[in-house]
C-alpha cells in the first residue's frame, strides 16, 4: 500500500511541476496580449521609419484567458476513491497551494509586456503613440472641394480645423527623417566662389556662417539684399528669425572696404555677434565697371580684426556718402535677391527685405505644419506661402505675436504695409478677416488666394523655393515695380498663395508716407516702358498667358 502511495505521490509531483512550467512559459511568451476591438491604434509616424513598429513594446489590450490548472482527476486519471486517504489529500492540497503561490510570484515578476501602459524605458526606439477613434484620415482636397475663396474647411492644413491631427510626434530624429522623406531635396555646395553674373562680379559665400553645410530639409533660409548702410537691421532680424540668413551686399568701388569692415564689426563687436557668426553668410557683388581697387581672398578677408572701440561704418550714415550715390548708380535690387536665393542651402527660403522682421518661432512652426500635412505637398498646383506685412509707429515696439499685433492695430499704432504709399501693391486677400481672427497655437493656412482681380498687382513676400521664378535683373529699386514681373509669372503658372494664419512681417519701426521724388518718378516711367515693350512680351513667350493675369 505504501509503495503504491509513494508512486502516486511522485506522479502528482511530476504533473504539478509540468503544469508550473507550462503556465510559466505561457506567461513569459506574452501571448495574452491582443488588440481591443473598440478602437484603431495609429502610430503618429507616416514616414518609412514606421517599418520599425515591431520594435515598439506591445499596446495595452485585453489579457488572454490563461488555462486553469488541471483538476485532480485530470492530474491522475488512474486514481479511485479508495486511493485517496486523508493524508494524500492533505499533501496534494499543500502542493496545490505551493503551485498557486509560485504561479502568482512568477506572474508578478514577469516582464511588463502584457497590459503595460508605458513602453519599456530602455527601448532603443520609443515613438509617441496616440490612440484615435476608428476613422479614415482625410485625403488631400481636390479643387472641387475648395470654396470660392479657396478654403477647405475640413483639413488641418487650413485654419488648423482638424481635431484629430495626424502629425508625427516622436523624437527629433523621427521628425528630421520625416521632413527629409517628404521634401526629397538636394544638398548644395558651401564653398567660396568667384563668378560673373551678367554685368556683375559676385563673391558668393565670401564670409560664411559657422553653421557649416546644412541639410536642405532641416531649416529655412531668410534671403535678402542690402548695401552696408542697412546692416543695422541685421541684429533685430536675427533675434527674431534665429535661423540661417543669406545676404547679398552691393559694394561697388570704394563701398567695398566699409562693407567688409561692417561685416567684421557685426561678427566680433556686439553682444549678439554669436548670432551673426552662427547664422549669416555674406555675399558681395559689384558692377564690372566699378570694381574695387583691392579684393582680398575669402580666406584672408577676416585676417585683420576690426577696432571695436570705434563706431561701425554704417553708424549714423546717410546714403549720400555712398560710392553708388556719388556715381549716380542704380541699386540692382533683383541681382541681390537672386544671388542670395541661389546661394541658400535649404529647400525652403523666405526671400524678403532686410528691414522686414518676422515673428519669432516661425521656422519651427512652419516645418511642423509641412510635416503634418503631407497630402498638400502632392497638390497639382504650385504654391507659395505669403506672410502678411505691417508697419508700426516709430515709438512702438515690434510685436512678437499676432495678439500683440492686433492690439497695436486696435490702437492705431500699426497699419498694413504701404497703406499710405501703395495699398494695392500689398493688399492681401481676406486681410480684414485675417486681422480679426484670433491667434492659434499652431501655424496653418488661413486662406488660399490668387493674384487676380483686385489683387492683380499684389507683391507678396512668401516662403517658397528656388523652383519659383527668379526676379528680373534688369529692374532697379529706383525704377519701382521690381517684383511685378515675377508676380505675373507666378500668376500665369497658376500658383496658389497659401496665406499663413499666424505668421507676419513687420517693417522697421516708422510708418512710411508718400513723398514726391522727381528722379524716381522719371525712372519709374522708364521702367514701365521697359516692362511694357520688352519684358512683358518676353514673359508671354516664356510663360504663356492666363486670363486675369497682369503686370
How do residues 417-438 score in pLDDT, each as one tens digit?
988 888 777 789 999 999 999 9
CA–CA distance from 138 to each of 48, 141, 172, 488, 499 (Å)?
20, 8, 25, 33, 21
Pairing of strands 220-226, 245-250: parallel
pLDDT for res 355: 97
How do residues 40-94 score in pLDDT, each as one tens digit?
322 233 333 333 333 333 333 333 333 333 334 444 444 444 444 455 455 555 5
- Do the beta carbons of residue 233 and residue 280 sit within 8 Å? no
pLDDT for res 379: 80
* 18 vs 91, residue with greater confidence: 18
pLDDT band at 122 (very low <50, low <70, confident <90, very high): very low
Q: 415 has which bridge partners?
A: 391
pLDDT for res 51: 37
CA–CA distance from 426 to each of 128, 391, 444, 480 (Å)?
42, 12, 21, 14
Cα–Cα distance for residue pair 38/54, rounded to 1 Å: 22
Q: Does the pLDDT of residue 250 top 90, yes or no?
A: yes
Compute the average pLDDT of residues 296-312. 96
pLDDT band at 171 (very low <50, low <70, confident <90, very high): low
Average pLDDT over the chain, rounded to an integer = 78
Compute the average pLDDT of residues 268-295. 97
Q: Does the pLDDT of residue 225 top 70, yes or no?
A: yes
pLDDT for res 522: 97
* 11 vs 449, residue with greater confidence: 449
What is the domain partition of the chain in residue ranges?
2-109, 192-354, 367-551
The most confident of the ranges 117-121, 125-129, 163-167 is 117-121
Residues 6+ apart with CB under 8 A from 279: 209, 211, 238, 241, 242, 243, 244, 245
Least confident stretch, 69-83, 282-296, 467-481, 503-517 = 69-83
Kindly report the backbone phi and psi dihedral angles of residue 54, in degrees, each rounded to the nearest multiple of 5, phi listed first: -65, -10
3-class DSSP state for residue 156? coil
CA–CA distance from 139 to each of 155, 156, 157, 367 (Å)?
9, 11, 11, 20
pLDDT for res 12: 73
Compute the average pLDDT of residues 161-190. 67
Compute the average pLDDT of residues 146-153. 36
* 375 vs 528, residue with greater confidence: 528
Cα–Cα distance for residue pair 455/544, rounded to 1 Å: 20
pLDDT for res 499: 96
| pTM of the entire predicted model | 0.71
Q: Does the pLDDT of residue 113 top 70, yes or no?
A: no
| Grid coordinates given for 425 | 501693391
Amino acid at each position: 500500500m505504501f509503495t503504491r502511495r509513494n508512486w502516486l505521490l511522485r506522479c502528482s509531483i511530476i504533473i504539478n511541476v509540468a503544469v508550473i512550467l507550462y503556465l510559466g512559459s505561457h506567461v513569459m511568451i506574452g501571448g495574452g496580449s491582443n488588440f481591443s476591438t473598440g478602437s484603431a491604434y495609429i502610430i503618429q509616424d507616416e514616414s518609412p521609419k514606421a517599418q520599425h513598429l515591431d520594435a515598439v513594446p506591445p499596446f495595452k489590450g485585453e489579457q488572454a484567458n490563461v488555462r486553469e490548472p488541471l483538476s485532480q482527476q485530470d492530474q491522475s486519471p488512474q486514481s479511485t476513491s479508495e486511493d485517496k486517504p486523508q493524508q494524500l489529500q492533505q499533501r496534494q492540497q499543500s502542493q496545490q497551494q505551493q503551485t498557486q503561490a509560485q504561479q502568482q510570484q512568477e506572474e508578478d515578476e514577469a516582464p511588463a509586456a502584457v497590459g503595460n501602459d508605458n513602453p519599456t524605458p530602455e527601448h532603443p526606439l520609443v515613438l509617441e503613440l496616440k490612440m484615435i477613434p476608428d476613422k479614415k484620415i482625410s485625403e488631400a482636397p481636390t479643387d472641387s472641394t475648395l470654396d470660392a475663396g479657396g478654403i477647405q474647411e475640413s483639413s488641418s492644413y487650413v485654419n488648423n480645423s482638424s481635431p484629430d491631427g495626424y502629425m508625427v510626434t516622436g523624437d527629433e530624429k523621427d521628425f528630421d527623417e520625416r521632413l527629409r522623406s517628404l521634401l526629397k531635396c538636394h544638398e548644395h555646395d558651401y564653398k567660396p566662389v568667384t563668378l560673373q553674373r551678367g554685368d556683375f562680379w559676385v563673391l558668393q559665400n565670401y564670409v560664411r556662417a559657422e553653421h557649416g553645410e546644412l541639410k536642405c530639409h532641416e531649416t529655412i533660409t531668410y534671403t535678402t539684399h542690402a548695401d552696408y548702410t542697412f546692416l543695422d537691421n541685421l541684429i533685430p532680424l536675427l533675434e527674431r528669425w534665429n535661423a540661417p540668413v543669406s545676404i547679398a551686399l552691393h559694394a561697388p568701388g570704394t563701398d567695398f572696404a566699409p562693407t567688409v569692415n561692417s561685416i567684421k564689426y557685426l561678427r566680433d563687436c556686439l553682444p549678439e555677434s554669436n548670432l551673426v557668426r552662427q547664422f549669416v553668410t555674406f555675399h558681395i557683388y559689384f558692377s564690372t565697371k566699378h570694381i574695387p581697387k583691392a579684393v582680398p581672398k575669402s580666406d584672408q578677408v577676416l585676417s585683420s580684426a576690426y577696432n571695436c572701440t570705434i563706431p561701425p561704418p554704417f553708424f549714423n550714415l546717410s546714403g549720400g556718402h555712398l560710392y553708388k550715390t556719388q556715381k549716380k548708380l542704380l541699386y540692382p535690387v533683383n541681382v541681390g535677391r537672386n544671388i542670395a536665393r541661389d546661394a541658400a542651402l535649404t529647400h525652403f527660403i523666405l526671400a524678403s527685405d532686410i528691414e522686414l522682421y518676422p515673428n519669432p518661432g516661425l521656422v519651427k512652426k512652419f516645418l511642423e505644419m509641412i510635416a503634418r500635412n503631407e497630402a498638400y505637398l502632392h497638390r497639382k498646383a504650385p504654391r507659395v506661402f505669403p506672410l502678411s506685412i505691417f508697419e508700426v509707429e516709430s515709438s512702438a515696439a515690434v510685436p512678437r505675436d499676432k495678439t500683440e499685433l492686433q492690439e497695436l492695430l486696435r490702437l492705431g499704432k500699426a497699419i498694413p504695409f504701404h497703406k499710405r504709399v501703395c495699398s494695392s501693391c500689398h493688399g492681401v486677400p481676406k486681410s480684414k478677416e485675417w486681422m480679426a481672427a484670433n491667434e492659434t497655437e499652431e501655424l496653418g493656412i488661413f486662406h488660399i488666394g490668387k493674384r487676380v482681380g483686385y489683387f492683380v498687382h499684389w507683391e507678396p513676400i512668401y516662403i517658397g523655393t528656388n523652383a519659383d521664378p527668379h526676379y528680373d535683373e534688369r529692374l532697379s529699386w529706383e525704377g519701382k515695380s521690381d517684383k511685378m514681373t515675377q508676380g505675373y509669372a507666378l500668376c500665369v503658372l497658376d500658383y496658389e498663395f497659401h496665406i499663413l494664419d499666424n505668421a507676419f512681417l513687420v517693417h522697421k519701426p516708422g510708418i512710411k508716407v508718400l513723398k514726391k521724388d522727381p528722379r524716381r518718378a522719371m525712372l519709374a516711367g522708364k521702367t514701365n516702358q521697359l516692362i511694357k515693350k520688352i519684358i512683358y512680351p518676353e514673359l508671354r513667350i516664356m510663360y504663356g498667358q492666363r486670363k486675369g493675369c497682369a503686370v
